[in-house]
């Protein structure tokens, strides 16, 4: 809202950088992520951290130490590696809110053959590592990149069943080659479905957007949304969520520059750390 349209990061320490109280640990984490470089699939078309080891003395995968101890975060890596060979299953209609949609889709692919499902899986693992290092309990919606689905309604259900404090669905776009950059998708109001999550999801979206902007070089998407933020009412994964949830399109696989970044392991880790910082900002900011 107050973010400059140009999307360039504010200088470190600028008054816009942090407006909510943060713990010392988180501040250190943010400072680290701010040093990193950085990171948008429309869901329709289908995109090792531990940076605070010095702060959190015993990084644990158990989720029992660190500023996010006690927080449960669901990460949904969009699509799945086996979807392309399971057209019958993934084309089946499932509940998506007021309407039905396909169970899942194959996802985007870059011109040089890098598939969105592989990106989302790799990125989700990096994000999990970063969040677990801060003590969060992390649940992924699929165990590997070899299976089919789960369907979009089931992906939402996993977050609901876990009573997650926040959920995020990871994607990379498959838009025209001219457009690049990231965008966050927040749920719009859908009567009878999203009223309870619109406001907290918006805050989550803005916090994640701010940390990607400040902690990476990835620009706001220049082909969709507004200043890196889009609001949609057609995504089953959002409409069916009972917990604060966003979609993140980390980049555009249809664009050569973005596609190269999305395939870079170090870039993915740095960007995942920025997303983790955004999650932390949301979870600790209240």
State which residue, 71 or 83, has the beta carbon closest to Zn ion.
83
Min dist CB 98 to Zn ion, Å, is 21
46 binding Zn ion? (CB under 5 A) = yes
Is residue 206 part of the annotated active site? The answer reads no
State which residue, 109 or 201, has the beta carbon closest to Zn ion.
109
State which residue, 136 or 182, has the beta carbon closest to Zn ion.
182
* Residues within window 55-94 making contact with Zn ion, judged by CB under 5 A: 78
Pick the piece of the chain touching Zn ion (CB under 5 A) from 99-107, 220-228, 256-264, 270-278: 99-107
Q: For residue 144, what are its two tokens?
A: 């590997």
Pick the piece of the chain touching Zn ion (CB under 5 A) from 101-109, 143-151, 200-208, 218-226: 101-109
Nearest partner of 64 among 136, 127, 165, judged by Cα: 136
221 binding Zn ion? (CB under 5 A) = no
Min dist CB 26 to Zn ion, Å, is 29
Q: How far apart are the first and last CA of the chain?
A: 18
Residue appearing with tokens 């680290």: 32
* Residues within window 155-214 making contact with Zn ion, judged by CB under 5 A: 171
Total of chain residues touching Zn ion, rule CB under 5 A: 5
- Binding Zn ion (rule: CB under 5 A), the pick from 25, 41, 73, 275 is 41
State which residue, 67 or 251, has the beta carbon closest to Zn ion.
251
Residue 85, class by beta-carbon neighbours within 10 Å (0-12 exposed, 13-18 middle, 19+ buried)?
Answer: exposed
Rounded Cα–Cα distance for residues 57 and 97 (Å): 44
Number of residues assigned to the chain: 286
State which residue, 171 or 203, has the beta carbon closest to Zn ion.
171
Check 146, 249, 260, 273 and give the catalytic one.
Answer: 249
Rounded Cα–Cα distance for residues 137 and 164 (Å): 9
Min dist CB 202 to Zn ion, Å, is 21
| CA distances for 245 relative to 87, 136, 201, angstroms | 27, 16, 5
Note if the bond before 177 is cis, omega within 30 degrees.
Answer: no
Min dist CB 158 to Zn ion, Å, is 17
- Helical H segments across the chain, by residue range: 24-35, 87-90, 116-133, 152-161, 198-215, 236-239, 256-262, 265-284
For Zn ion, the binding residues (CB under 5 A) are 41, 46, 78, 107, 171
Active site residues: 249
């Amino acid at each position: 809202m107050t973010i400059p349209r140009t999307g360039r990061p504010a200088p470190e320490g600028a008054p816009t950088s942090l407006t909510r109280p943060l713990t010392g640990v988180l501040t250190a984490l943010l400072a680290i992520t701010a040093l990193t470089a950085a990171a948008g699939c429309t869901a329709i078309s289908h995109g090792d951290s531990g940076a605070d080891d010095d702060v959190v003395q015993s990084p644990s995968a158990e989720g029992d130490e660190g500023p996010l101890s006690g927080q449960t975060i669901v990460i949904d890596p969009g699509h799945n590696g086996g979807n392309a060979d399971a057209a019958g299953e993934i084309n089946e209609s499932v509940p998506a809110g007021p309407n039905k949609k396909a169970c899942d889709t194959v996802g985007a692919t870059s011109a040089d053959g890098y598939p969105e499902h592989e990106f989302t899986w790799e990125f989700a693992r990096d994000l999990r590592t970063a969040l677990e290092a801060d003590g969060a309990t992390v649940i992924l919606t699929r165990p590997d990149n070899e299976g089919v689905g789960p369907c979009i309604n089931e992906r939402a259900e996993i977050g609901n069943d876990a009573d997650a404090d926040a959920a995020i669905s990871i994607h990379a776009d498959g838009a025209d080659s001219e457009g690049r950059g990231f965008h966050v998708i927040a749920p719009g109001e859908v009567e009878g479905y999203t009223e309870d999550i619109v406001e907290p999801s918006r805050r989550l979206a803005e916090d994640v957007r701010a940390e990607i902007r400040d902690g990476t070089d990835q620009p706001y998407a220049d082909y969709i949304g507004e200043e890196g933020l889009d609001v949609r009412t057609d995504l089953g994964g959002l409409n069916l969520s009972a917990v604060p949830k966003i979609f993140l399109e980390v980049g555009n696989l249809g664009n050569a520059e973005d596609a190269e970044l999305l395939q870079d392991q170090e870039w993915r880790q740095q960007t995942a750390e920025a997303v983790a910082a955004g999650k932390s900002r949301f979870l600790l900011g209240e």
